[in-house]
Structure formats: structure tokens, C-alpha cells
């Protein structure tokens, strides 16, 4: 039988080891566990986008749109659904992107929220056209501002040609300037899109727009 002194010392040692383990926090996830988590999140995003695409097409059909318009909507919906199935890269012009961020910091009414919005727009680009596939309400909720302030900030970005607006009736569609960021993989198509977008950034020509 161990002396009481030795038993007490052993108990103290065990307590110290337990405290050290708690201070270090829980053991880090293994690569397998991390991979499982990422896979589950990716699957959920893909499922959500497929459902969103299905709803878009169903709504268009209920409206009785003409076949050409319906075909375009169907194509856009498929691109929207596909965009979460793989790791999607955006080709970003570092000089142009930096110019946008600098302009936001110096001239936006809400510089912090405008920067967050600018980053968020890159997450919602349609693969083939650069259209921002998110509604005003969705973007406002994501950034944490009112739809009205969202529209004001989008107008700021449009004023420097970072984005452009297309109005169709009461609907406004937004497109990112492909000279700043684009998904278009084909070099000639990318060049044509950039040329069609006009000056990359009016602010890069000097001064405030």
C-alpha cells in the first residue's frame, strides 16, 4: 500500500494534467473530420441552389413567358444551380479591385458596409454573364443594411462603373464589370465582355467621378 504522501502527490499531478488539457481546449479536428464537415456544407449549398433554380424556372413558366425568355431564364437557373457544385474561382483584376476598395474608403457614405457588399457581390456572379444573382432584399440581409441603403450603395458602385444596371420594367438587374472580376474562362469571350463594359473604372482615369 502506498504511503498517504505518495497518493496525495499522485492526485495533485493528475489534477495538474487535467487543468493543462482544459487550458489547451478541445483537440483539433482531424483532416477526415474537417473534410466531412466541408463536404456536408458543400452538399447543403448545392441542394439549396438546385431548389432555388427549380423555383425560378417554375415561376417563369407560371407567368406564361415567351419561349425565348423562358430559355434564357432556364439557362441562368442552371448556371445558378451549378455554381455551388465545384469550387468556383473568380478571375479578379488586383489593380482594378484595389481601386474600387480605395474609392469606397474615400467616398462611400458607408465605407465598411460598402466593402462588405462589394465582397458579397463576388459570391453571386452568374457564370456566363456576370449578372449578380441575388435580390436586393437578399443582399441587404446578408450585409446587414436596409434595402434602401443597399440601393444607395449599389448606385455608388454604378457611378464608378464597378457595376452596371439594366432596367426591365420595374425590375433592375445588376452586372459586375468583367474588367474587374469575371467567371468567363474563354479568353476571346472575356476580352469581348470587357470591351463591351466600357472603361474599367472611371476613377482610374483620374479623380472622383
What are the chain's domains? 1-85 (no CATH), 91-205 (1.10.10.10)
**Span 120-134, average pLDDT:** 87
Average pLDDT over the chain, rounded to an integer: 75
- Dihedral, CA of residue 8, residue 9, residue 10 and residue 16, to nearest 10: 110
Q: Which of 20, 181, 156, 203 is nearest to 89 (CA)?
A: 181
| Residue 209: per-residue pLDDT | 46
pLDDT-derived band at 67 (thresholds 50, 70, 90) equals confident
Comparing 32 with 46, the larger pLDDT belongs to: 46
What's the Cα-to-Cα distance from 167 to each of 4, 123, 189, rounded to whole Å? Answer: 85, 22, 24
Q: The pTM is what?
A: 0.56
Q: What is the pLDDT of residues 162-208, one digit of tens each?
A: 999 988 888 889 999 988 888 777 777 777 877 777 775 655 555 44
Nearest residue to 89 (alpha-carbon basis) of 117, 115, 122: 122
Per-residue pLDDT tens over the stretch 130-145: 899 888 899 999 999 9
Amino acid at each position: 500500500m502506498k504511503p498517504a504522501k505518495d497518493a496525495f502527490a499522485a492526485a495533485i499531478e493528475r489534477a495538474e494534467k487535467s487543468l493543462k488539457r482544459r487550458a489547451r481546449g478541445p483537440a483539433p479536428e482531424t483532416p477526415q473530420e474537417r473534410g466531412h464537415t466541408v463536404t456536408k456544407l458543400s452538399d447543403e449549398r448545392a441542394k439549396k441552389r438546385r431548389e432555388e433554380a427549380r423555383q425560378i424556372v417554375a415561376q417563369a413558366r407560371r407567368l406564361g413567358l415567351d419561349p425565348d425568355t423562358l430559355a434564357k431564364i432556364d439557362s441562368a437557373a442552371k448556371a445558378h444551380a451549378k455554381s455551388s457544385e465545384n469550387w468556383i474561382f473568380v478571375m479578379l483584376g488586383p489593380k482594378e479591385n484595389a481601386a474600387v476598395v480605395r474609392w469606397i474608403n474615400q467616398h462611400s457614405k458607408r465605407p465598411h458596409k460598402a466593402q462588405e457588399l462589394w465582397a458579397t457581390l463576388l459570391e453571386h456572379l452568374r457564370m456566363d454573364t456576370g449578372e449578380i444573382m441575388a435580390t436586393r432584399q437578399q443582399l441587404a440581409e446578408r450585409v446587414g443594411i436596409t434595402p434602401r441603403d443597399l440601393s444607395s450603395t449599389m448606385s455608388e458602385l454604378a457611378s464608378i462603373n464597378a457595376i452596371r444596371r439594366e432596367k426591365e420594367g420595374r425590375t433592375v438587374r445588376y452586372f459586375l464589370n468583367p474588367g474587374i472580376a469575371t467567371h468567363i474562362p474563354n479568353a476571346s469571350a472575356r476580352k469581348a465582355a470587357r470591351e463591351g463594359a466600357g472603361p474599367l473604372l472611371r476613377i482610374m482615369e483620374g479623380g472622383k467621378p
